[in-house]
Amino acid sequence: MDKRPIGIFDSGVGGMTVLAEIKKRFPNEDLIYLGDTKNFPYGDKSRETIIKLATKCAGFLISQDVKLIVIACGTATSQALEELKKIYKVPIVGIITPTIINIKRNTNPSKETRVGVIATEGTIRSNKWEEELLQEIENVKVFNKACPLLAPMAEQGWTTNNVAKEAIKEYMKPFIDKKLDKIILGCTHYPLFKELIQKELGNDVEIINTGEKIADYLEEYLVNEDIENSKNHDGECSYYLTDTECNFIQVASRLLQDKEIRNNIQKMNIE
């Protein structure tokens, strides 16, 4: 049993799709969310810059005495997870491993599994998803596509309008004739476009929201490590942003259907 909070970070509002799944699954746990909105987007930055920024985010969460850090950002997971693990002792979980474990459990190695991966430029450049899928899953074929406009659009709250529809249509084009079994939303902003993606690819394609897979993973992890908060209380969420001149509040409030978010946000300088 460990009553300390779980720390979660992303460059912006995308990681809130992960927080939403964790909050649903672990109502007892206190959560601290950091959105590095001042440095958004991470997706087009160099690996060195991502490592520097992710180190600061993790350092801030550790200063808040978290028991575990969830990197709710595909870009930071793909490029900084290994480095952060070298620097900090606190357990750190990214979005890739929990997702791959889940896919491995749910695929039949005697049949080819065709997996699409959509993510930021930085994540696709790192090739991490493809590497880990090929390493862990037998008989898998991977199709990658960077979708650099989607995270900035999600930050604007443009996830269902005509611009979003056109962007998804364009980004999904290369997958149409690929007979995909699954598509991984390799950026945590992308679940905000889930309906449009499903519509474009059809209902036979499983859309993988990494937040759900992290929640599955944590169910086992917290128990195995004996760090779950079994105190009977309503878990509290605190939100920190490195800049508040953004649409975070509107998008996050809609996502979590929680108008109180506004009252729980603090501006924080992590430089």
Which residues have a catalytic role annotated?
Answer: 73, 187
Name the H helices within the chain: 16-25, 47-63, 74-87, 96-105, 121-126, 128-136, 150-156, 162-172, 194-201, 210-224, 248-256
Binding region for ligand DGL (CB under 6 A) out of 8-16, 84-92, 164-172, 250-258: 8-16
Q: Is 98 in the site for ligand DGL (CB under 6 A)?
A: no
Write down the least CB distance from residue 66 to ligand DGL, Å: 19
What residues numbered 242-271 form the site for ligand DGL, per CB under 6 A? Answer: none
Question: Among 26, 33, 40, 129, which residue interacts with ligand DGL (rule: CB under 6 A)?
Answer: 40
C-alpha separations of 91 from 8, 206, 210 in Å: 12, 30, 18
Which neighbouring-strand residues pair with 31? Answer: 6, 237
Q: Is 73 in the site for ligand DGL (CB under 6 A)?
A: yes
Binding region for ligand DGL (CB under 6 A) out of 40-48, 53-61, 137-145, 263-271: 40-48
* Residue of 19, 48, 55, 37 lying closest to 209 (CA atoms): 19
Which residues have CB under 8 Å from 172's CB, separation 6+?
197, 200, 201
Write down the least CB distance from residue 228 to ligand DGL, Å: 26
Question: What's the one-letter identity of residue 117?
Answer: V
The residue length of the chain stands at 271
Residue 100: how many CB atoms within 10 A of its CB?
A: 18
End-to-end alpha-carbon separation of the chain, Å?
33
Binding region for ligand DGL (CB under 6 A) out of 7-15, 55-63, 135-143, 227-235: 7-15
- The closest residue (CB) to ligand DGL is 43
Nearest residue (CB) to ligand DGL, 188 versus 209:
188
Q: Is 79 in the site for ligand DGL (CB under 6 A)?
A: no
What residues numbered 164-203 form the site for ligand DGL, per CB under 6 A? Answer: 187-189
Residues that bind ligand DGL (CB under 6 A): 10-12, 14, 40-43, 73-75, 120, 123, 151, 187-189
